[in-house]
Amino acid sequence: MNPYGSIFPEVLDLEPLRKKHIPLYRRQERIQMDGNGAAAIASLQFWRAPIYAGFPITPSTKWLEMISTYINAGRFVVEENGRKVSAKRVKLLEAEHAVADYLVGAAAACRELIFMTATSSVGLDHMTETTRSLGASGLGNVVLINVYRATANYPLCIEGDPSDAFAHRDDGWIQVVCRGKQQIYDTLIQLPVVGMDPRVLIPTMPGYYGIKDSHRSEPFFVEPDSKIHEFQDSLIPWRCPLPGLIVGETAMGNCVTSAHFQGFKWEQKKRMDQVLSVLTASSKKFEEVFGRPGIVPFEAYFMEDRPPRVLVAMGPDAGTAYEVIRRRRKEGERLGLVVVRLLTPFPSSLLREALKSAGVIGVVNNAFHSERGHLTALVSEAVSGLPIQTTGFFAGLGGADISVRSWEKMIDLLSVLKPGESRFVHEGEVL
Amino acid sequence: MQPQRTANDYKSDLKPVWCPGCGDFGVLKGVYEAMLNLQLDPDKVAIVSGIGCSGRLPYFTKCYSFHSVHGRSLPTAMGIKLANPELTVLAAGGDGDGFAIGGGHIPHVARKNIDITYIVMDNEIYGLTKGQVAPTSPLSQSYSTAPFGNLESGIDPVALVLSYGATYVARGFSGDPGMLAELIQKGIEHKGFSFIHVLSPCPTFNKVVTFKSIRAKTQAVHGHDPTDLRKALDLALDSNAIHLGVFYQMEKKSYNDRWQEVWDQASQKPGNLEDLLQRYA
């Protein structure tokens, strides 16, 4: 038996679907939109994405409304057997859980196509029963856009806070953080090819911060659909295998004994271990095709001279950190900045190499954690055994802006805090 | 002697923040009036809501309030009632919260006959998120996510909850807060699960279902025997008019009453722990 399942080339003829695609863009253009719009435009440009699923609340993510607006405007209407049909559709379901299960069914039935949804916070939590099994299923053709919000915490707050992303860190998905509309757009294009690579076959969860990135507009470049197809088709196999099959070559989700379960998990881990190399190769190809950098595990700024003090952050507020550090370096302070993008699998080895010369690291957590912070824990593990003092900060919780004064304060505290200590910082004050 | 309470005793300092003309104002007024008429102690009332515009309702009262997550107002309310049966417990939500994401809970609270009052404000759309198709949206009607017409049939909340075995089922209209207050009052007084379906227009995102259109289609229930379930279902399924009033009311033991009975019997002949554990040996 083929452990990755048989491929039945006659079952699904992809060519008519590919031919039905009506491009949104025929040349590169610079447009202005918010983050949900950037994600929606990229999603609509895939010929492999005929159905978009969602539940309109908990809380709402405008991605789905943007998708349905374009479809409703008749942008994808084609003639088929003398009748006009839409090559793309939206399917609304009655809850996020139903959306996740719907994606499982659709993705298993058509492994070569991309099935997408967008959700947030408790909406993602409501999917949990399915996201955990989806993560292991081998259905790398599912893309879940997570708009980070604090709602998954208590009390209710819809602003950007990655507590939802961290809560789902161990669901077995590839999670990539975006900041800025160009990154959102580019990540949406690149990430499915990583998830659908036959060595990986893991669903993907691109994410961006609610309000700060989802609802704020900025200009970005959109690429012609044909170029996106060229990029994706060069990396996605025409026929995708499916390692989630349990017994025989067509059965999914069977109940198994511990022996089979353990072997399955070993396979799953092996596939997750391939992500970094596949991501790196696809980023190289992305840059060749589009002329912009592809997804990196983390962004490193001012690290060339191996600065002794480094801040590790994620999300859109890192832009403010960049400006603060740039100014302080002009004043003679050797400071560095690392902005994490790949949350799962966490790029521990690469990060260890980048940080090995630092004396003190301050890790900035934007989500509440009952101990030192999710990101602090991950970074501390990455540099464990090295003579580095790791301190942590909580800032920007619930989507609060991290002001210049707050970044200044955190930099100042790097020299004061003891290893392992953490502080809440807001508007330049320690809470 | 306890001084007579006034409406202000039930109103919080927060001003309602719904859109101008929202039907939910009328529902809030009905809730205030029902509590006033019953002279309930606000300290003995808990109001639970889910997600949606209606989810804000408890904020505007001085009762204990709990804004739960989407679709989960009923299990939360059930937990409150079973933990503290002395409290009067109300749950409030919209049609999406109740009949989509939370739809799985209604039959079970109904069949258990938990003594809580559930008020569903139905505007036939998802209002908070700007007018998408909801579970009570009628077939073929146009919405932001179905501009050429809804492909799915709408749920009939009254017929559905009657068939689930609820012991008090009524329908009110937020344009008639006086009648609504009466229905809510009766629901609170009813010992068991009471369900009040409220037609509550969203003037911002649903331009079809309005106060005027509801007035034109509705009529008060007259000469109906509320203990007759078949006739209640006939009224609910009447395609000529939308009826307002009490459809069904049947006195049955509530879950707490049954639990007490079972416990009274069981406590007469307690089992031997060792013998019971032997079953698993």
Q: Are B171 and B199 a contacting pair, CB within 8 Å? A: yes
Please tell me the distance in Å from A92's CA to the nearest CA on chain B. Answer: 8
Contact A92 B145 (CB under 8 A): yes
Query: According to the CATH classification, is domain A24-290 in 3.40.50.970?
Result: yes
Helix intervals (H) in A201-336: 225-235, 258-273, 275-290, 318-330
Question: Would you list the DSSP string of B56-108?
Answer: GGGGGBSSEEEE-STT-HHHHHHHHHHH-TTSEEEEEEEHHIIIIITTTTHHH
Number of C-beta neighbours around residue B239 at 10 A: 5
Tell me which CATH code domain A298-430 carries: 3.40.50.920
- Please name which of A158, A290, A295 lies closest in space to residue A231, comparing C-alpha atoms: A290
Mean pLDDT of chain B: 94
As a whole number, mean pLDDT of residues B154-178 equals 97
Strands (E), B150-274: 168-173, 194-199, 218-220, 242-249
Whole-angstrom Cα Rg for chain B: 20
Contact A68 B135 (CB under 8 A): no
What distance in Å separates the CA atoms of residue B57 and residue B254, rounded to the nearest whole number?
Answer: 26
Mutation target among A51, A57, A102 for the B interface, most CBs of B within 10 A: A57
B132 pLDDT tier (thresholds 50, 70, 90) = confident
> ∠ at Cα B274 (B268, B276), nearest 5°?
65
Please tell me the distance in Å from B70's CA to the nearest CA on chain A. Answer: 6
Contact B148 A90 (CB under 8 A): no
Residue A10: what pLDDT?
63
Please tell me the distance in Å from A368's CA to the nearest CA on chain B. Answer: 19
Q: Looking at chain B, which residue has its C-alpha nearest residue A64?
A: B145
Q: Looking at chain B, which residue has its C-alpha nearest residue A97?
A: B101
List chain B domain ranges.
7-278
What distance in Å separates the CA atoms of residue B127 and residue B56, rounded to the nearest whole number?
Answer: 13
% of residues, chain B, pLDDT over 90: 84
Asked whether the CA dihedral B17, B22, B28, B29 is positive or negative, the reply is positive
Please tell me the distance in Å from B178's CA to the nearest CA on chain A. Answer: 32
Please tell me the distance in Å from B148's CA to the nearest CA on chain A. Answer: 8
The residue assigned the tokens 């309602």 is: B16
Q: Are B194 and B118 a contacting pair, CB within 8 Å? A: yes
Contact A65 B130 (CB under 8 A): yes
Contact A126 B101 (CB under 8 A): yes
Contact B144 A65 (CB under 8 A): yes
Q: If you count residue pairs, one on A and one on B, with CB atoms under 8 Å apart, how many are there?
A: 51
Q: What is the pLDDT of residues B219-255, one digit of tens each?
A: 999 999 999 999 999 999 999 999 999 999 999 999 9
Q: What is the pLDDT of residues B39-52, one digit of tens each?
A: 999 999 999 999 99
Both tokens of B128, joined, read: 């908070």
Contact B101 A156 (CB under 8 A): no
Residue A152: what pLDDT?
65
Phi and psi angles of residue A85, each rounded to the nearest 5 degrees, phi first = -130, 160
- Please name which of A298, A317, A343 lies closest in space to residue A399, comparing C-alpha atoms: A317
What distance in Å separates the CA atoms of residue A280 and residue A286, rounded to the nearest whole number?
Answer: 10
The residue assigned the tokens 């696809």 is: A282
Delimit the CATH 3.40.50.920 region(s) of chain A: 298-430
Q: Is A56 on the interface with B (CB under 8 A)?
A: yes
Residue A112, helix vs strand vs coil: coil
Beta pairing, strands A77-80 & A360-365? unpaired
Element (H, E) at B273: helix B273-278
Beta pairing, strands A429-430 & B88-94? unpaired
Q: What is the pLDDT of residues A136-183, one digit of tens each?
A: 989 999 999 999 998 766 888 889 999 999 999 999 999 999 999 999
Q: Hey, which residues 195-234 in chain B have their CB within 8 Å of chain A?
A: none
What are the C-alpha distances in Å from A385 to residues A362, A415, B89? 17, 20, 56
What are the C-alpha distances in Å from B199 to residues A86, A123, A219, B20, B215? 35, 27, 44, 17, 10
Facing residue for B145 by CB, picked from A59, A68, A122? A68
Residue A45: what pLDDT?
98
> ∠ at Cα A322 (A318, A323), nearest 5°?
120
Facing residue for B126 by CB, picked from A56, A95, A96? A56
CA within 13 Å, CB half, B198:
37
What are the C-alpha distances in Å from B244 to residues A401, B10, B217? 50, 26, 10
Please tell me the distance in Å from A233's CA to the nearest CA on chain B. Answer: 31
Residues of B in contact with A56 (CB under 8 A): 126, 129, 132, 145
- Please name which of A109, A134, A86, A93 lies closest in space to residue A12, comparing C-alpha atoms: A109
Instruction: Say what the ipTM of the complex is.
Output: 0.79
Contact B100 A95 (CB under 8 A): yes
What distance in Å separates the CA atoms of residue A321 and residue B13, rounded to the nearest whole number?
Answer: 41
Q: Are A225 and A219 a contacting pair, CB within 8 Å? A: no
Residue A1: what pLDDT?
43
Contact B126 A59 (CB under 8 A): no
Residues of A in contact with B135 (CB under 8 A): 94
Delimit the CATH 3.40.50.970 region(s) of chain A: 24-290
Asked whether the CA dihedral B23, B25, B29, B30 is positive or negative, the reply is positive
Both tokens of A171, joined, read: 């669901």
Q: Are A346 and A363 a contacting pair, CB within 8 Å? A: no
Facing residue for A58 by CB, picked from B51, B135, B147? B51
Look at the domain B7-278 and name its fold: Rossmann fold (3.40.50)
For chain A, what is the total number of helices (H) and then of strands (E)? 15, 18
Both tokens of B103, joined, read: 């739809």
What distance in Å separates the CA atoms of residue A243 and residue A1, rounded to the nearest whole number?
Answer: 12
Contact B126 A57 (CB under 8 A): yes
Both tokens of B20, joined, read: 């101008």
Contact B145 A122 (CB under 8 A): no
Task: List the strands of the sheet with A89-92, edge to edge.
Answer: A89-92, A51-54, A115-119, A142-148, A204-209, A174-177, A342-344
Q: Which residues, at least 6 apart from A281, have a Cβ–Cβ distance to it below 8 Å?
A: none
Length of chain A: 431
As a whole number, mean pLDDT of residues B87-93 equals 97
Beta pairing, strands A51-54 & A89-92? parallel
Helix intervals (H) in B84-221: 95-96, 106-112, 157-164, 177-189, 211-217
Classify burial at B58, counting beta carbons within 10 Å of its beta carbon; exposed 0-12, middle 13-18, buried 19 or more: buried
Q: Is B67 on the interface with A (CB under 8 A)?
A: yes
Is it the case that residue B55 has pLDDT exceeding 70? yes
Residues of A in contact with B51 (CB under 8 A): 57-59
A5 or B140, higher pLDDT:
B140
Q: Are B207 and B143 a contacting pair, CB within 8 Å? A: no
Cα of B12 vs its chain's centroid, Å: 21
Q: Is A51 on the interface with B (CB under 8 A)?
A: no
Give me the residues paired with residue B125 across strands: B133
Per-residue pLDDT of chain A (431 residues; tens, 9 = 90+): 454 556 666 667 788 889 999 999 999 999 999 999 999 999 999 999 999 999 877 556 789 989 988 998 999 999 888 998 889 998 889 899 999 999 998 998 888 899 999 999 989 999 999 999 999 989 999 999 999 998 766 888 889 999 999 999 999 999 999 999 999 999 999 999 999 999 999 999 999 999 999 999 999 999 999 999 999 999 998 777 777 666 556 677 777 888 888 988 999 999 999 999 999 999 999 999 999 999 999 999 999 999 999 999 999 999 999 999 999 999 999 999 999 999 999 999 999 999 999 999 999 999 999 899 999 999 999 999 999 999 999 999 999 999 999 999 999 999 999 988 999 999 999 99
Facing residue for B103 by CB, picked from A58, A94, A123? A94
What distance in Å separates the CA atoms of residue B142 and residue B125, rounded to the nearest whole number?
Answer: 11
What distance in Å separates the CA atoms of residue A283 and residue A295, rounded to the nearest whole number?
Answer: 6
What distance in Å separates the CA atoms of residue B147 and residue B145, rounded to the nearest whole number?
Answer: 6
Q: Are B51 and A58 a contacting pair, CB within 8 Å? A: yes
A128-137 and A258-273 helices cross at what angle (nearest 10)?
A: 80
Contact A122 B128 (CB under 8 A): no
> Each residue of B176-205: b (16+ CB within 10 Å) or e?
bbebbbbbbbbbbebebbbbbbbbbbbbbb
Question: Would you list the DSSP string of A162-183?
Answer: THHHHHTGGGS-EEEE--SHHH
